Structure formats: C-alpha cells, structure tokens
Amino acid sequence: MATLLQQLVNGLVLGGLIALIALGYTMVYGIIQLINFAHGEVFMVGGFASLATYSYVLPDSWKSDWWVALPLMAIGGALVAVILSVIVERFAYRPLRNAPRLAPLITALGVSVVLKEAVRLWYPGATAPVPFPRVFVDKQFTLEVFGGTVTIGSTALLMIAVSIIGAIALQTYITKSRMGRAMRATAQDPDTARLMGVNPNRTIVLTFVIGAALAGIAGVLYGIQITNVDTEVGFLYGIFAFTAAVLGGVGSIKGAVIGGFAIGIVKTLSGQYMWGGTQYDLVWIFVILIAVLVFRPQGLFGEPERVRA
C-alpha cells in the first residue's frame, strides 16, 4: 500500500510539470486551432536559458541564496522562452494563419527540430545531459503509512504548488480581465471579435507569451527536480503535455491541468504495476487516451468543435 501511495505522489509531481506545459498547448489551440508541436522545445529552451542565467549572469555571491537565484533563473528562462515564441509566431505561424491546417502543423514540427538542433549545437556541452544546480531547499518529507514510508521532496512540492497556482491565476485572468475576454472572443469567433474592436494579432501574441512563460518556468522546475537538462526532454514532455491537453479537452484550462495530473499518475502507476513496466508506460498512456476519446471525443472537459461559417 505504501508503494502505491508513493507512486501516486510521484505521479502528482510529474503531473504538475506536464500540466504547466499543457496549458500552452491548450491556449494556442483554443485561439487559432494550431497544434504547436514546438511548444515542448520552448520548455526545453527555458530550462537551458535558466541554467545560462545561473552560470553566466548571476554573481557567485547570489548563487547560494535560493530566494534570490531561483526567481532570477525563472525570469531568465521565461524571458527567453517568451522572446523565442513571439519570434516564431510572427515569422513562422502568422504568415500561414489562413493556409490549410497541414501547413502550420508541418511548420511547427520543423520549428521543433530547428530549436532542438540549435540548442544542441550552440549551448556548451549540450550534446549530452548538462548538470543543473539544485538551487532550491533540498529537504525530504517522510510520512509513515501502512507499515511503509512515503517520501516527497521540497522541490516536488514546489512543482505541484506552482502548477496549481499558475492554473488558478490563468483561469482567473481569462475569465475576469479585459484581455481574457478578448481571448475568449477570438477563440469563439475571430471575425466577430475583430468587428467588436478586438485586435486579433495582439490577442494571439499574448496567448503565445503566457504559454511560453509557463513553459519557461516549467523548464526551471524540471531542472532543479531532475538536476540536469537535456535537448531530448522537449520532445518527450511535449508528447506528454499534448496528450494531457487532448485528454482534458483542448481549449480547456481546467482540462489541461487535470489531464496533466492524470497522465502523470497513469505513467507512474503503469510503470510500477502494468505489463512491460516503464518501457511500456507510454503505451498505457495512449490506451487510456484512446479509451476516453472513444466515448468522449472532445476530451473530459472540452466542448464539441464548432464549425465556423
């Protein structure tokens, strides 16, 4: 029983990271119906940018104080991720906004490959996993249950807390703010939103900015939890996050978060208990996804796709 609880805790930690990345997928698709496969690489770039902030920008006297180093690393990672996403939106996606859906989809895959190879070639030592400093408080919390122990680290708790707080803040912003209403209006009917005075380009750029900032912060949290960054993690966690967004219902903030936690728990439990172990955990994730989509094609919290006139 203790092993089951430990795997559930591990799944929540992994799910928190996936949820942060999935928010970017679901927001972009909700606004312009683009599956931004490069978003996983934005997460990876955020991790490397935060590491560069720590290695080349922060003075040595600041590195030992986590309450100084960690926020500055998060700002550095999120800032680079945001700038990168804005450039990609402006020069790769915007010219194809009225093109057939296959064109921006292929472009997103191409951008993903370019970003991965650029980091691998130009970041020092990125041809292999690069060590990442554990700048946050390194403390383990242990709870004795059912004759065993369940352990969770301080960085894992931070990851869960940031994902939940980030999702609540994002949901509040979208439902309460003027720009949030503009985003919802653009998602429902961009032509009518334009007639009502909404600037679609500014709204779409803001969507990319928010999604990239969350992905950059996720890159920092991944680094301090795993203590390394790798150019391969963008594709892997991009797949997890995209699956979470589809499971929860693409376009739904709540769905992306719950889908992220669900994917994290399915991955850890299937790796522990299902046939094939960790080698086949992706198989079980997609089995669950297909089973849900058979009965609810729009995902757990999504709405049926509207056909725009």
Q: What is the pLDDT of residues 123-149, one digit of tens each?
A: 999 899 999 998 888 888 888 887 788
C-alpha span between 270 and 287 (Å, rounded): 11
CB atoms within 10 A of CB 182: 20
Q: What are phi and psi of 260, to 5 degrees?
A: -65, -50
168 found inside a domain: yes
Quote the number of domains for the chain: 1
On whether residue 48 sits in a domain, the answer given is: yes
Containing structural domain, residue 138: 20-235
Q: Is 212 contained in some domain?
A: yes
Residue 11 domain-assigned? Answer: no
- Give the model confidence (pLDDT) of 240-283 as tens digits: 999 999 998 888 888 999 999 999 999 999 888 887 777 888 88
Examine residue 137 and state whether it is found in any structural domain, yes or no: yes
Cα–Cα distance for residue pair 81/307, rounded to 1 Å: 33
Query: Rounded to 5 degrees, what are φ and ψ at 300?
Result: -65, -40
Asked if the structure places residue 6 within a domain, the reply is no
**Dist. CA 237–CA 66, nearest whole Å:** 26
**Which residue intervals of 33-59 are DSSP H helices?**
39-52
Q: Is residue 1 part of a domain?
A: no
Instruction: List, for the chain, all residue ranges whose pLDDT scores fall below the cut of 70.
Output: 304-309
Hey, how many other C-beta atoms are within 10 angstroms of the C-beta on 264? 25
Residue 197 lies in a domain: yes
Nearest to 262 by CA among 236, 288, 237, 238: 288
